[in-house]
Structure 1
Amino acid sequence: MPTYRYRCEANQQIYEVRHSMNTTLTTWSELEHLTGAQDKSIPGDTPVNKVLTAVGLVKSSALKNPEAPPCANKNCCGGCSG
């Protein structure tokens, strides 16, 4: 299951939640239920918003290269300590 980040509008805190891709949380009570977070000062109908995060991309040509990168072969490229 993927991990998503949500920001609570009441306290501006970011919470990480694991749920299926077809689930979207919209209120504090939904987020509270999945994370176990508890804050009685936040009303259950307080909006939460999904925070977009960047993902790492790998070029497909890198996946087809049978050789390990130089640092993995102990032939350090000079920019690492490997």
Structure 2
Amino acid sequence: MPTYDYYCDANGEKVEVFHPMNELISNWGELCSKVNRPLGDTAGNEPVRRLISSAAVISSTSLVDSEPACQTGGCCPGGSCGFNE
């Protein structure tokens, strides 16, 4: 489940919460309920906005064990450099 950061302009608080991608949280009351915290002095109907955050990107090339390139700049005929085609 992804982690999202929400910000409330009314109180200046940022709250981190886990929830499915298809779930929408639109106000302070819903957010506090989701993370099991009291509303405090902020009204439950105050709007919150989900902050944009960066995600970790995994390159498919980093997941593959690749052989180093031949030191001569190309594949040596017959594998004389130790790397076979």
TM-score normalised to the size of structure 1? Answer: 0.72
Classify the secondary structure of the residue corresponding to 1:62. helix
Deviation of 1:24 (Å): 1.2
Unaligned ranges ≥5, structure 2: 68-85
Give 2:65's aligned amino acid: N
CA contact (8 A) 2:9 2:48 kept: yes
Unaligned ranges ≥5, structure 1: 68-82
Give 1:38's aligned amino acid: P
Which structure would you say has the larger Rg?
Answer: 2
TM-score normalised to the size of structure 2? Answer: 0.70
Deviation of 1:66 (Å): 5.9
> Would the alpha carbon gap of residues 47 and 31 (structure 1) be closer, same or farther in structure 2, given more than 3 Å must change?
same
Deviation of 1:37 (Å): 2.0
Q: How far apart, CA to CA, are the structure 2 residues paired with 1:64 and 1:40? A: 50
Q: Which residue of 1 aligns with 2:59?
A: 59
Deviation of 1:39 (Å): 3.1
Runs (4+) of structure 1 exceeding 6 A deviation are: none
Deviation of 1:40 (Å): 3.1
Q: How far apart, CA to CA, are the structure 1 residues paired with 2:28 and 2:43? A: 7
Alignment of 1:24-39 (within 5 A): 24-39=24-39
Q: What is the root-mean-square deviation of aligned Cα atoms in Å?
A: 1.6
Taking only the aligned residue pairs, the percentage that are identical comes to 33
Q: Which residue of 2 aligns with 1:21?
A: 21
Q: How far apart, CA to CA, are the structure 2 residues paired with 1:37 and 1:8? A: 14
